[in-house]
Amino acid sequence: MKSCEVNFDGLVGPTHNYGGLSYGNVASQSNSQQTSNPREAALQGLAKMKALMDMGFTQGVLAPQERPDIAGLRKLGFSGTDAEVIAKVAKQDMPLLVASCSASSMWVANAATVSPSADTADGRVHFTAANLNCKYHRSIEHPTTSRVLQAMFADQQHFAHHAALPAVAQFGDEGAANHTRFCRDYGDAGVEFFVFGRSAFDTRYPAPQKYPARQTLEASQAVARLHGLSAEGVVYGQQNPAVIDQGVFHNDVIAVGNGEVLFYHEDAFLNTEALVAELHDKLSRRGGRLQAICVPRAEVAVEDAVRSYLFNSQLLARGDGSMLLIVPEECRANERVWNYLQRLIADESPIAEVKVFDLKQSMQNGGGPACLRLRVALKDTELAAVNPGVIMTAPLYDSLTQWVDRHYRDRMGENDLTDPQLLLECRTALDELTQILKLGAVYPFQLG
């Protein structure tokens, strides 16, 4: 039976703005309060989806969320009509309104962790929504994320959904951004690599000094248990705390992997040699051969990796067995990174080609090509069971770009977030979107 990897990209929501909400994420901090362009952001994301589809990859779409999050604000004690809630929070606690307006659900690499059916005990594809409990603006995503994922992958014969882990820092879970799957073929049993930033309970693991380590070992272990993964198919590795303190807030800012290839920075992990050996060993027992490409710090410093998002790239397997790397424009703008990439593709490396995309609107909040996609490896029968409304086609691309043009503003500053009209615009747009993507009712305003 044939299998493939499908990239489901997050559609940027109509309230995309630069709130400076993510301490430890250098781009989010340094672009705080800049004026954003939600329309351009959504179109940049759609252009990437269309380009991948045109190259022959199966591409999906993941819907954005209802913002401002009025239901969340009511839970925090704001009352009255929706417009009154917005006016009160704008007056009393502007940072909370900004957080309640974030379009951060676009970074769907943080939506969930996904294990393909070849790896799980019950032979179904498993999803665990990420609790994202390190930041308020992200912690409010998972209830809607769960409903959207269930509307996309509804067939219980093939798909199993788990609620987010307990909403405490000890089980901090950031989803697929800290999870990489290696395999020979997408349909074969693979090795799932979970990278954590700290341990909640075991003090032997070091932790960063400055910035938060969002993912805990205990959260990763819980996800592996929920998904029914076997010990032979799992590797846990610790992220180097020193790089977290340099702005590497997720593993996908310093490493990316797919198939038999791991592309990583020399400083990405602790105990790298033993870790790579374990990956190699476990993958070889699954019939694969790990090809580890280590980028030396002498060629690309961590600072350049963080600034350019070299590793937040999409590593895509092409039909001929070679790999394609999708990188953001910022990689071309960085001479050292760009020179490294030229050498990489000229060498005998499994990465044969690099393609560059302009994702500046998302990048300015610390979200590159890899943040914008959730990968789901599917067998043919499973792909056939996915809601067809969310699979990208030329007509769907046209209707989504027209939908963006009809509903999105082309500038968004802090003041715009206080406008009660924005909520109505957002709800009108999302109501229409659920029809375009055939999702049914998934948003709080639709559920009553």
Q: Does 102 engage in binding with ligand SUG (CB under 6 A)?
A: yes
Q: Does 19 engage in binding with ligand SUG (CB under 6 A)?
A: yes
Is 371 annotated in the active site?
yes
Q: Does 22 engage in binding with ligand SUG (CB under 6 A)?
A: yes
By CB under 6 A, name the one of 6, 46, 183, 253 that touches ligand SUG.
Answer: 253
Q: Does 20 engage in binding with ligand SUG (CB under 6 A)?
A: yes
Active-site entry in 101, 134, 331, 371: 371
Q: Does 107 engage in binding with ligand SUG (CB under 6 A)?
A: yes
E-assigned strand segments in 28-156:
59-62, 112-115, 125-129
For residues 261 and 370, which CB has a smaller minimum distance to ligand SUG in the complex? 370
By CB under 6 A, name the one of 3, 28, 100, 246 that touches ligand SUG.
Answer: 28
DSSP code per residue over 408-445: --S-B-GGGGG-HHHHHHHHHHHHHHHHHTT--S-SHH
For residues 39 and 158, which CB has a smaller minimum distance to ligand SUG in the complex? 39
Work out how close the CB of 81 gets to ligand SUG at its nearest, in angstroms, rounded to a whole number.
26
Residue 157 class from Cβ within 10 Å (0-12 exposed, 13-18 middle, 19+ buried)? Answer: exposed
Residue 16's alpha-carbon distances to 7, 40, 46, 101, 174, in angstroms, are 22, 10, 15, 8, 20
Is 227 annotated in the active site?
no
**Helices 38-54 and 394-407, interaxial angle, to 10°?**
180
Work out how close the CB of 9 gets to ligand SUG at its nearest, in angstroms, rounded to a whole number.
12
Q: Does 365 engage in binding with ligand SUG (CB under 6 A)?
A: yes
By CB under 6 A, name the one of 3, 7, 15, 25 that touches ligand SUG.
Answer: 25
Q: Does 37 engage in binding with ligand SUG (CB under 6 A)?
A: no
CB 369 within 8 A of CB 359: yes
Q: Does 366 engage in binding with ligand SUG (CB under 6 A)?
A: yes
Q: Which residue, among 307, 376, 349, has the nearest Cα to 57 in the 3D structure? A: 376
CB 191 within 8 A of CB 233: yes
Q: Does 252 engage in binding with ligand SUG (CB under 6 A)?
A: yes
For residues 371 and 430, which CB has a smaller minimum distance to ligand SUG in the complex? 371
CB 129 within 8 A of CB 149: yes
Q: Does 173 engage in binding with ligand SUG (CB under 6 A)?
A: no
DSSP code per residue over 13-38: PTT-------TT-HHHHHTTTPPB-H
Residues 371-410: x where in contact with ligand SUG by CB under 6 A, - otherwise, as a string: x---------------------------------------
Contacts 24+ apart (CB under 8 A), 153-156: 153/125, 153/127, 153/376, 153/385, 153/386, 153/387, 154/387, 155/385
Q: Does 36 engage in binding with ligand SUG (CB under 6 A)?
A: no
Q: Does 215 engage in binding with ligand SUG (CB under 6 A)?
A: no
Q: Does 241 engage in binding with ligand SUG (CB under 6 A)?
A: no
Q: Which residue, among 264, 278, 269, 217, has the nearest Cα to 244 in the 3D structure? A: 269
Q: Does 177 engage in binding with ligand SUG (CB under 6 A)?
A: yes
Q: Which residue, among 296, 250, 279, has the nearest Cα to 27 in the 3D structure? A: 250
Q: Does 67 engage in binding with ligand SUG (CB under 6 A)?
A: no
Catalytic residue annotation: 174, 250, 371
- Binding region for ligand SUG (CB under 6 A): 18-22, 25, 28, 102, 104, 107, 109-110, 138, 177, 249-250, 252-253, 365-367, 371
